[in-house]
Amino acid sequence: MYDTSTNFLNVHEWAYGLTEVVHILSLAVGVGLITVVDLRLLGIGPGQASPERLLRATAVGSVIGLTLAVTSGLLIASTDPIRYFNHPTMRLKLALVVAGLAFNYTIHNRVVRGRYSPAAGRGVALVSLFVWTTTVFGGIFYAFT
């Protein structure tokens, strides 16, 4: 039986807080760099760089950010996995993360790289912004519901 009282993050409060800080900062890097591409698809940002050019420039950074965000998120969840997994808001958030990642690395990036209409670009940008924003809301509302 997994004993949460021996979990490193439960033993050391600073480690728990630090993991939360890493979660927020890496989220800002991962989602922030995806947002830059989304805003460009919506016509906001540097006209000199196409959305595809911006995606190429930010792809590595956003992978690093998202990987750190998921890893730190799992570490936070490991402090009380049963409560986290059984909580409806957290389940919704997890579903949004999985959907967001799947959408980003299939449809979203394919539309950015391929020869699709600007309307398709705006569509994926809005879906992307919506999914990531609701994920952030899910994370906060978990603590309040």
Partner 1 sequence: MTLSAIGRAIQEIGVFTAVRESVYAYPIILSTHLACIATFGGLILLTNLRLLGWMLIDVPADALIRSLRPWKQAGFAIMVTCGVLLGASKAEEYLSNPFFQVKLALLCAVGLHGLYFSKRVYRRDERLVNPSTARLAAALSLVLWVGVVSMGRWIAYYDPPSPQQAHPAPGNRQLVVTP
How many residues at the interface with partner 1, by CB under 8 A? Answer: 38
Under the criterion CB under 8 A, does residue 67 sit at the interface with partner 1? no
Type of residue numbered 135: T
Under the criterion CB under 8 A, does residue 95 sit at the interface with partner 1? no
Q: Which of 4, 12, 57, 114 binds partner 1 (CB under 8 A)?
A: 57
Under the criterion CB under 8 A, does residue 61 sit at the interface with partner 1? yes
CB of 113 to partner 1, least distance (A): 17
Q: Which of 29, 94, 101, 107 binds partner 1 (CB under 8 A)?
A: 29
* DSSP characters over 27-91: HHHHHHHHHHHHHHHTT-S-TTS-HHHHHHHHHHHHHHHHHHHHHHHHHHHTTSHHHHHH-HHHH
Which CB atom, from 50 or from 106, has the smaller least distance to partner 1? 50
